[in-house]
Amino acid sequence: MRRLVAGMVAGLALTLGAGSAVALCGAMPSPAQSLAAGELAFVGTVGSVSNSDRWATFQVREVWHATDLPRFVEVRGSAGGDDFFGIFTSVSSNDRFFAEGVTYLVFPHEEGDALYDNDCSATEEWSDRLADLRPASAHPPSPSLAESAGGVLWTVAAGVLASLALGPALLWTHRQRPGGEPPPA
């Protein structure tokens, strides 16, 4: 349905002579071909969407091909941004649309500090058959700096609390005489 709507909008733009560029996909790569080519790939679930469902914030479940990715990434399924009324500013026949709560195997490409995807990539909704493609090098995403710092802070806090709770008991036990009598005052 999304592709039909995108195609209709692109066709209308061509018919009316609009200045927007319409891109058509050549041969569509399969996920196996994209993995073999070493393309960036991850499995993630969409937490939220924006820009008319073309930009998605993913919770990365597993990194399949990349040195590292954080736990949350934004993938832009188009180059256009929202205008003031939340209506997209440019339309292309290869815009990628995402749905909240859906898990995908994503093959984005990097441009500067952003990740982009389009309808010409091998990105697809997760299905059990994709599990057979899982590379041996797949790994979980790296925790964010806040998560890492939070883990360290909890460890330090637990150590301090344990010292405060056990310190007096250990001191009292250490000061006990072998016969069990307290030392003279």
Summarised one tens digit per residue, pLDDT across range 83-95 is 445 554 566 778 8
Query: Residue 118 above 60 pLDDT?
Result: yes
The span from the CA of 110 to the CA of 22, in Å, is 21
Query: Residue 106 above 90 pLDDT?
Result: yes
Query: Residue 73 above 80 pLDDT?
Result: yes
- pLDDT 10s digits, 137-173: 999 998 865 554 444 455 555 555 556 665 566 555 5
CA distances to 103, 105, 131, 134 from 128, in Å: 11, 11, 6, 11
Q: What pLDDT is attached to residue 151?
A: 47
**Would you call 106 exposed, middle or buried from its count of C-beta atoms within 10 A (0-12, 13-18, 19+)?**
buried
- β-bridge partners, 48: 57
The span from the CA of 32 to the CA of 17, in Å, is 38
pTM of the full predicted structure?
Answer: 0.63
**Would you call 82 exposed, middle or buried from its count of C-beta atoms within 10 A (0-12, 13-18, 19+)?**
middle
- Residues 142-175 as b or e (16 or more Cβ within 10 Å = b): eeeeeeeeeeeeeeeeeeeeeeeeeeeeeeeeee
